[in-house]
Amino acid sequence: MPLTEAQLHDQLVSEGLRPERWSNAPHFKYGVHDHPYGKVLVVVSGSITFTINGGTRVVRMQPGDRLALDPRTPHSAVVGPDGVVCLEAHR
């Protein structure tokens, strides 16, 4: 059974991270973009699929799954049919 949102939050905090919560409606799409910082993302509920580096890596995420992206890593994402709630922290 996946950890609760509070447990996931506490886990990130114990690593010295400052997680923030965000969510999206079903089937929301993020176009290809990158960030000047690294980020760690954990799915709390729902699902989301990331396409990384132009499709060289596809990551389908469910509750409890974690993804770390290095700075300037190009990625896009599509939210699953039930929406998604995530915790995200920057490095």
Under 8 Å between Cβ of 44 and 5: yes
pTM metric for this prediction: 0.93
DSSP string covering 5-72: HHHHHHHHHHTT---EEEEE-TT-EEEEE--SS-EEEEEEEEEEEEEEGGGTEEEEE-TT-EEEE-TT
Parse the chain into domains and list their residue ranges.
Answer: 5-90
pLDDT in tens, 38-84: 999 999 999 999 999 988 999 999 999 999 999 999 999 999 999 99
Specify the CATH number for 5-90; select among 3.40.50.300, 1.10.1060.10, 2.60.120.620, 2.60.120.10: 2.60.120.10
38: tokens are 């690294």
